[in-house]
Amino acid sequence: MTDQKPKALVLDFGGVVTRTLFETHALTERALGLPAGTLDWRGPFEPASDPLWLRMQADEISERDYWRSRTREVGRLVGEDWDDMSTFVQRARGADPQAVVRPEADRAIRAAHAAGIRLAILSNELDLFYGKAFRERLPLLSLFETIIDATYTKILKPDPRAYAMASEALGLPAAACVFVDDQKRNVDGAVAAGMLTVHFDVARPARSYAEALAHFGLTIS
């Protein structure tokens, strides 16, 4: 009997491996010397209070457009002119990369690696937003066999070619990959590409990782 279980776990990075910037407002405010409560946009956690987020979800603007706007806004708060999202991310969380990794992600990734599940990252903007030095200071990423980053490929999810790059890099058919992303449009793209998928819920990360690992018959405490 042929083993039908998938072979690889393909993760988005920001929001899935790391906590979102929405979740780390307090850390950002401390890092930038802003009064507590200054940053009040909450994206998926309070969509109705974030009109810009709702525009992004309605495909009126791109995810990069959303973060470009937030970058400029926060830059102005500290009296600077920021055009580059990496400036925002690195100033907000560059001092301690491990502090923004989801503990649920750390446990799930290490459990998957120990179980022989192959690991890949498929990101639209890992180095664009975080900077290359960030990933070099994050030991967890050494467990990943391949990292495909549209910072360099210029091919953004949900373009079908992005998912093809991931499966080709792994040498596996799309159906052998479980793809996890917090953006529904990217999940829909993976479905169209033939991958198994999990729409990651940033408000319930443990449940989302449990769902992903269940595809491999793996559970963690």
Give tens-digit pLDDT for 47-86. Answer: 998 999 999 999 899 888 999 999 999 999 999 999 888 8
| Cα dist from 99 to 42, 127, 168, 182, whole Å | 20, 18, 32, 20
In a domain, 79, yes or no: yes
Q: Which whole number is the average pLDDT over 143-148?
A: 98
79-129: pLDDT as tens digits? 999 988 889 988 887 667 888 899 999 999 999 999 999 999 999 999 988
Cα 156 from Cα 170, distance rounded (Å): 18
Distance between alpha carbon 185 and the CA centroid of its chain, in Å? 13
Average pLDDT for the chain = 93
Distance between alpha carbon 123 and the CA centroid of its chain, in Å? 7
Predicted pLDDT at 99: 84
| Residue finishing a domain among 96, 129, 152 | 96
Return the axis-axis angle of helices 25-32 and 85-93, rounded to nearest 10°: 90
Could you tell me if 122 and 13 lie in one domain?
A: yes
Range of the structural domain that residue 116 is part of: 8-18+101-214
Residues in Cβ contact with 53 at an 8 Å cutoff, skipping those fewer than 6 apart: 41, 42, 43, 44, 47, 66
Predicted pLDDT at 86: 86
Could you tell me if 145 and 208 lie in one domain?
A: yes
Predicted pLDDT at 181: 98
Q: Which whole number is the average pLDDT over 174-188?
A: 97
In a domain, 124, yes or no: yes
| Residue finishing a domain among 80, 96, 112 | 96
How many other CB atoms sit within 10 Å of the CB of residue 114?
A: 11
In the predicted structure, residue 2 carries a pLDDT above the cut 50: no
Predicted pLDDT at 93: 79
In a domain, 1, yes or no: no
Predicted pLDDT at 11: 98
Could you tell me if 124 and 68 lie in one domain?
A: no
Radius of gyration of the chain (CA): 17
In a domain, 43, yes or no: yes
- Residue 186's CATH number: 3.40.50.1000
CB 184 within 8 A of CB 58: no
Q: Which whole number is the average pLDDT over 177-186?
A: 96
Query: HSE (CB half, 13 Å, CA atoms) of 141?
Result: 23
Could you tell me if 105 and 82 lie in one domain?
A: no
Task: Give which of 159, 190, 214 is closest to 10, Cα–Cα.
Answer: 190
Could you tell me if 127 and 185 lie in one domain?
A: yes
- Go through 116-130 and write b for each residue having 16 or more CB atoms within 10 A of its CB, e for each that does not: ebbbbbbbbbbbbbb
In the predicted structure, residue 1 carries a pLDDT above the cut 50: no
Could you tell me if 131 and 178 lie in one domain?
A: yes
| Residue finishing a domain among 53, 76, 96 | 96
Predicted pLDDT at 220: 84
Could you tell me if 172 and 88 lie in one domain?
A: no
CB 9 within 8 A of CB 180: yes
In a domain, 92, yes or no: yes
Could you tell me if 84 and 112 lie in one domain?
A: no
Please state the pTM of the whole predicted model: 0.91
CB 94 within 8 A of CB 118: no
Could you tell me if 75 and 141 lie in one domain?
A: no
Q: Which whole number is the average pLDDT over 131-142?
A: 89
Could you tell me if 91 and 121 lie in one domain?
A: no
**Ramachandran class of 220: left when φ > 0, alpha when ψ lies in -120 to 50, beta otherwise:** beta
Altogether, the residues listed in the chain come to a count of 221
